Amino acid sequence: MKKMILRLCFASLAVFIAFLCLGMNSRQDRDDPSFLTLDRIFVEREFSTERFGRVQWLDDGTGYVTLEPSRVSDRGRDMVKVNPASGQREVLISADRFVPPGSSDPMAIQDYSWSQDGKKLLIFTNTQRVWRRNTRGDYWVLDLASGKLLRLGGDAEPSTLMFAKFSPAGDRVAYVVKKNIYVENLKTGRIQPLTFDGSETIINGTSDWTYEEEFGIRDGFRWSPDGRHIAFWNLDSSGVGEFRMINNTDTLYPQIITFRHAKVGTTNSACRIGVVDSNGGEPVWFDPSKGNSRENYIARMEWAGPGEIVFQWLNRLQNTDLVILGDILTGEIRTILTEKDKAWVDVQDINWIDEDQSFLWLSERDGWQHLYRVDRATGQARLLTPGDFDVLAISSVDDKNGWVYFMACPDNPTQRFLYRARLDGKAKIERVTPKQEGGSHNYQISSDARWAIHTWSSFSDPPRTEIVVLPEHRSVRMLASNDELRNKLNNLARGEPEFFRVDIGDVELDGWMMKPPNFDAQKKYPLLFYIYGEPAGSTVRDSWGGRNYLWYLMLNQKGYIIASLDNRGTNVPRGRAWRKSIYRQVGILACKDQAAALRQMLKDRPYIDPERIGIWGWSGGGQMSLNMIFRYPELYSTAMAIAFVSDQRLYDTIYQERYMGLPDDNKEGYTNGSPITHAHRLEGNLLIVHGTADDNVHYQSFERLVNELIKHNKHFTMMSYPNRTHGISERENTTRHLFNLLTRYLLENMPPDSPKS
């Protein structure tokens, strides 16, 4: 007993001395410009990235439009046209023309769009968030010839309009107010309602929470090419469970926030597509489910010419996607393409070519995600990008000259490059990004595919943005170099990041590692993993990491190794088998991969201290962090889990059922994949963090895990952020506070041997 007490005293003394040293060095770090502090990263924002502002390419290819600070005033922004070749700037609309009647200040422009004839501008301002991404606000139309500003919506309440769009002729604007669609005549001011049943449960022209979050449907209506009709989503959310959150901080008495949210295995909204005359009338309805639309989804809808719409209909398991054409006069439908998979299919956008007689389609039908050209009449699909590699996304379609530009990375799944292929499939694909360039690249391509705004970066090198000429990729002008930031980074104490692969037997996993600046392979270092591990994303990318990279670098300087691994099932370009291997076993296969990789790393890298292995993640990564420390207590000593799902049955239908199947058909998978099942096995240090206003991963998930840990008498640390959502970023000082919490928890529970190794 005395020996045990003595060991505890020595351990406590060691921790005290370590913290004394850490405290001394933290003061030294503030005076040493080569070392980072939380304040330098999160408060002073000394290392903020220079970004090139949002632009819109003009349809005629003559330039792009952007907003810039007013040239004649310290208020508002001018709308400027830029010639891509010369860089010459022309003020199209000065800031003083954005001053609404009765005000002396220009409007704060959140978004804007042009009429097709370029004579009118639609301005979105005074915005308020609805859910995570949807916003509502006020819309104004500026007539460029007269200078007149018209506020849309008549006597509608402020900040209640959504998704306003010009008609093709530019003489009318359609928008959504309180779940109904309206068309406003810009000449007469007449406002024509097109739907009348919008209510608490009936949604027209937009979407419910789950459709918005998982299918990305926000602006839920489309003008026909001739302006005679509008097609729209109609959802009936009656019967969908109501979720409630409590705002305890903003008023004397708590406010209850209520919204409908379909959790795994429960009732979905019923969904159908309607087409209505833009002057009013009865809609023609399209519902292939024949009355069972709560067990199906309509994930995409567009016009396929003046008289037909095209939409994608999925079954509830999301393993069958039908591309369907609908005749707006007769209501008749026909399926032109069927996409199936034993696991799930990913919804794809349709790109029409050849005067709408064909379209481009991404499919994994041959084991890799490739581009196909599909004939509208026959549904016959022709492969355009053969080879053992994945096409990630279509960047641009140059129908006139017969090319499609797309992103891919055949030789390195951690990087991203631009390629192109012939639309007739008669030539080999070409890499457009210069071969000598590595890292990750992104392109915003003009409508004529002649120009592109090109941004590229690597893991430890911040982004550069330039104008290039395509397809030769000739650089014309730098738009944002980040040279100042690069110089600051080069003056910091830092080592070179390492990208590597670890062999776990069945497969090799990609990973990256950041080591302390004065790394010594003869020493032992604590290792912190950053993890996501779910099908919706990945963490091992050779691209600028921004805030997280700087925080990891600060931890490096304190003596930590930071690493990340992409297990099987993560959304990386390594083929269908890689991605779909996780089907029905989210939180199971991924954990096995991560644990096997760590064991191999401990064999290969003796400088990793096996007694000081930590892991952290957010959302799906929070769930994975919990699973790892619960399921493998012999490997992980510390975990920090943020905004996590503790029980997969608490998450929404579309996401969780896509990857896990229905809960009644996969009870074992849902149980074994959920961290709460394994909470009784906790042995190490655990920090859990959640925002109480998280409408995505509900605070309910946090509280249920807390109860389970208490039930098994487990010690843990918890932090709740009042009225913060899934990103835990709202309100003053939140982000700085959160990362200070994470840093202190690491230092207290997994301290390095010395602050500056």
Residue 50 carries which DSSP code? Answer: P
What is the arithmetic mean of pLDDT over 101-123? 94
Do β-strands 685-691 and 638-642 pair in parallel, antiparallel, or remain unpaired?
A: parallel
Please state, in angstroms and rounded to a whole number, the distance separating the CA atoms of residues 132 and 125.
Answer: 18
Closest by CA position to 538, among listed 675, 413, 650 = 413
Please state, in angstroms and rounded to a whole number, the distance separating the CA atoms of residues 519 and 534.
Answer: 32
Please state, in angstroms and rounded to a whole number, the distance separating the CA atoms of residues 186 and 163.
Answer: 17
Please state, in angstroms and rounded to a whole number, the distance separating the CA atoms of residues 215 and 597.
Answer: 33
Please state, in angstroms and rounded to a whole number, the distance separating the CA atoms of residues 402 and 385.
Answer: 14
Please state, in angstroms and rounded to a whole number, the distance separating the CA atoms of residues 669 and 108.
Answer: 49
The pLDDT value recorded for residue 8 is 38
The pLDDT value recorded for residue 61 is 80
Residue 23 has pLDDT above 90, yes or no: no
- Split at pLDDT 50, 70, 90, the class of 473 is very high
Unique residue bearing structure tokens 């012999």: 634
The pLDDT value recorded for residue 74 is 84
Helical pair 589-604 and 620-631, crossing angle rounded to 10 deg: 70
Query: pLDDT tens for residues 441-463?
Result: 999 999 999 999 999 999 999 99
Q: How far is CA 201 from CA 11, 181, 207, 268, in A?
A: 60, 15, 11, 12
The pLDDT value recorded for residue 26 is 53
Residue pair 392/414 in contact (Cβ under 8 Å)? The answer is no
Domain boundaries, the chain: 496-749
Residue 21 has pLDDT above 70, yes or no: no
Query: pLDDT tens for residues 256-302?
Result: 999 999 999 999 999 999 999 999 999 999 989 877 899 999 999 99
Q: What percent of the chain has pLDDT over 90?
A: 91
Query: pLDDT tens for residues 630-665?
Result: 999 999 999 999 999 999 999 999 999 999 999 999
Residue pair 408/394 in contact (Cβ under 8 Å)? The answer is no
Per-residue tokens: 711: 């039930």
Which CATH number does 496-749 carry? 3.40.50.1820
Question: What count of Cα atoms within 13 Å lies in the side-chain half-sphere of residue 385?
Answer: 32
Question: What count of Cα atoms within 13 Å lies in the side-chain half-sphere of residue 753?
Answer: 14
Q: What's the whole-number average pLDDT of the chain?
A: 94
Query: pLDDT tens for residues 34-67?
Result: 999 999 999 998 999 998 888 999 988 889 999 9
Strand spans (E) along 576-728: 608-618, 638-642, 685-691, 717-721
Residue 423 has pLDDT above 50, yes or no: yes
Residue pair 365/345 in contact (Cβ under 8 Å)? The answer is no
Query: pLDDT tens for residues 62-96?
Result: 899 999 999 888 889 999 999 999 999 999 999 99
Please state, in angstroms and rounded to a whole number, the distance separating the CA atoms of residues 128 and 174.
Answer: 19
Per-residue tokens: 170: 């530019």
**Contact residues for 246 (Cβ-Cβ < 8 A; gap 6+):** 254, 255, 256, 257, 692
Residue 12 has pLDDT above 70, yes or no: no
The pLDDT value recorded for residue 15 is 47
Closest by CA position to 369, among listed 578, 566, 575 = 575
Rg of the Cα atoms in the chain: 28
The pLDDT value recorded for residue 609 is 98
Residue pair 693/726 in contact (Cβ under 8 Å)? The answer is no
Residue 19 has pLDDT above 70, yes or no: no
Query: pLDDT tens for residues 614-623?
Result: 999 999 999 9
- Split at pLDDT 50, 70, 90, the class of 11 is very low
Query: pLDDT tens for residues 679-722?
Result: 999 999 999 999 999 999 999 999 999 999 999 999 999 999 99
Query: pLDDT tens for residues 113-170?
Result: 999 999 999 999 999 988 767 789 999 999 999 999 999 999 999 999 999 999 999 9
What is the arithmetic mean of pLDDT over 719-739? 97
Q: What are phi and psi of 30, to 5 degrees?
A: -65, -25
Per-residue tokens: 128: 């308020």
The pLDDT value recorded for residue 757 is 36
- Split at pLDDT 50, 70, 90, the class of 29 is low
Please state, in angstroms and rounded to a whole number, the distance separating the CA atoms of residues 508 and 520.
Answer: 26
In terms of residues, how long is the chain?
757
Burial of 733 (0-12, 13-18, 19+ CB in 10 A): exposed
- Split at pLDDT 50, 70, 90, the class of 306 is confident
**Contact residues for 321 (Cβ-Cβ < 8 A; gap 6+):** 299, 312, 313, 314, 338, 339, 340, 345, 347, 348
Please state, in angstroms and rounded to a whole number, the distance separating the CA atoms of residues 650 and 263.
Answer: 6
Query: pLDDT tens for residues 225-245?
Result: 999 999 999 999 999 999 999
Per-residue tokens: 329: 């006069």
Cα angle vertex 116, ends 114, 122, to 5°?
A: 25
* pTM of the full structure: 0.93
Do β-strands 685-691 and 717-721 pair in parallel, antiparallel, or remain unpaired?
A: parallel
Query: pLDDT tens for residues 189-224?
Result: 999 999 999 999 999 999 999 999 999 999 999 999
Please state, in angstroms and rounded to a whole number, the distance separating the CA atoms of residues 754 and 557.
Answer: 10
